[in-house]
Homo-oligomer: A and B are copies of this chain.
Amino acid sequence: MESRVAQAEQKETGRLEAFSDGVFAIAITLLALNLAIPHLGGNSSNKALGDALSAQWPSYVAFFTSFFTILVMWVNHHRVFRLIERTSAQLMYANGFLLMMTTAVPFSTGLLSEYFRLPGARLAAAVYSGTFVLIALGYQLVWMSLLRNRSLFKRSVPETEIATITKNYRMGVPIYLLATIAAFFSVYASVGICTALWVFWAATSQDCVDFTAR
């Protein structure tokens, strides 16, 4: 009987995980819709097309940064959900907020792509970084809903793992806030901080994967 209950719970977190994965996968794929096909009207020579494609280099940068940021966030999501065996309503809606902000990334990425070389670039970069502030806040809320109800964790989760994640998550909101403020001084600084953050997380997540693989 107990194993049956356990199985039902497995399915419970499983379905939430699968739904979240679906949203991550769709949001990450929709990023590519920001890669615009140039419409050149009269002169559509190889040279004109090449110039038009080169001119939209900011969309490639934004696409790349957003893709890997969402990918790293998905890995992190994964890392948290690997630790739990139950869901709560609070967790469900904190996760919902997190997903909602993730679906907005293609929008903020498109905004940054379009305004990167226009006068409004700084505001666009602030909106771009600001979206990540809210996503980081979503992670914080998800994590807090777990810390406040530890019975959601699997019994086998080591306290050290929980402490590590608590520490890592603390960085997200303030650093993205910094990137948002930086945007009003330099678009490059802002996007640079966002990029540095996913590179850092990608580098550190190695431990996570190693942990799992053991």
Q: Which of A46-90 contact B (CB under 8 A)?
A: 46, 48-50, 53, 63-64, 67-68, 71, 74-75, 78, 82, 86-89
| Cβ-defined contact, A114 with B19, below 8 A | no
Counting chain B CB atoms within 10 Å of each CB, the highest count among A25, A75, A82, A206 belongs to: A25
With contact pairs A29-B103, A92-B75 given, residues A46 and B120 touching in the complex (Cβ less than 8 Å): yes
| Cβ-defined contact, A104 with B15, below 8 A | no
| Cβ-defined contact, A100 with B46, below 8 A | no
| Cβ-defined contact, A89 with B206, below 8 A | yes
What are 25 A-B pairs at a CB distance below 8 A?
Answer: A9-B212, A15-B78, A18-B21, A23-B29, A26-B29, A27-B32, A28-B99, A37-B111, A40-B120, A44-B118, A45-B120, A48-B120, A49-B115, A50-B123, A53-B123, A53-B127, A64-B100, A67-B96, A68-B100, A71-B93, A71-B96, A71-B100, A75-B92, A89-B205, A89-B208
Q: Which residues of A contact B (CB under 8 A)?
A: 5, 8-9, 11-12, 15, 17-19, 21-33, 35, 37, 39-40, 44-46, 48-50, 53, 63-64, 67-68, 71, 74-75, 78, 82, 86-89, 92-93, 96, 99-100, 103-104, 106-107, 110-111, 114-115, 118-120, 122-124, 127, 152, 202-203, 205-206, 208-210, 212-214
